[in-house]
């Protein structure tokens, strides 16, 4: 025989919802802690809520000092106003990122101008070989991502082929800006 469930008061319902919210928040903190404590491949996006979509990465890897990767993330305020945030990580090696994620505070116009300048570039994808060889130097890279699983990955060592010099200048301009930001302008996510 069917027995209807006992109705609970709105106060009891509210208390259960609050308890559920606390449990979910604790689970999210634990998940975030696990995600931030592992290194990952460069192309693997970090899955955290409220940090936006990964749109681009600048990679900077000198031979004898620390290398960095900067993630440009895009979010929308009120579903219409686009904003960018910048996150920094240290490279573990040329293919992997150290554990952690650090937000870098930087003026919105600087980040937006990067995409404006990038959007104006016209680069051939098939280029001639510059026949450069060497053991030391700096490697650079740019990864661009869209929302539909499309991406572009460009890498070069020291001086790129002539067809990519305009991109090289742009990337080096922003690396110089990012390297000048002191630790006081950074927040380590936990």
| This prediction's pTM | 0.80
Separation CA 185–CA 37 (nearest Å): 22
Q: What percent of the chain has pLDDT over 90?
A: 39
pLDDT at 1: 66
pLDDT at 61: 95
Instruction: Kindly tell me if the per-residue pLDDT of 130 is higher than 70.
Output: no
Here the contacts of 68-72 (C-beta below 8 Å, separation 24 or greater) are: 68/175, 68/178, 68/179, 69/42, 69/97, 70/104, 70/174, 70/178, 71/46, 72/111, 72/114, 72/115
Model confidence pLDDT, tens digit, residues 84-121: 999 999 999 888 999 988 889 999 999 999 999 999 99
Model confidence pLDDT, tens digit, residues 34-81: 888 888 998 888 878 788 899 999 999 998 889 999 999 998 887 778
Closest CA to 110 of 156, 176, 158, 160: 176
Half-sphere exposure of 88 (CA within 13 A, CB side): 22
């Amino acid at each position: 025989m069917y027995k209807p469930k006992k109705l609970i008061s709105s106060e009891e319902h509210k208390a259960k919802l609050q308890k559920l919210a606390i449990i979910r928040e604790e689970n999210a903190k634990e998940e975030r802690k696990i995600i931030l404590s592992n290194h990952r491949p460069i192309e693997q996006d970090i899955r955290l809520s409220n940090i936006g979509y990964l749109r681009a990465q600048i990679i900077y890897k000198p031979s004898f000092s620390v290398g960095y990767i900067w993630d440009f993330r895009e979010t929308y305020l009120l579903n219409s106003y686009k904003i960018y945030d910048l996150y920094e990580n240290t490279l573990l090696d040329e293919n992997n990122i150290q554990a952690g994620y650090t937000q870098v505070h930087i003026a919105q116009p600087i980040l937006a101008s990067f995409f404006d300048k990038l959007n104006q570039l016209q680069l051939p994808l098939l280029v001639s070989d510059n026949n450069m060889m060497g053991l030391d130097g700096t490697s650079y890279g740019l990864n661009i991502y869209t929302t539909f699983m499309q991406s572009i990955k460009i890498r070069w060592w020291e001086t790129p082929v002539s067809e990519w010099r305009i991109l090289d200048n742009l990337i080096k301009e922003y690396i110089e800006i990012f390297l000048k930001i002191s630790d006081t302008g950074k927040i380590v996510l936990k």
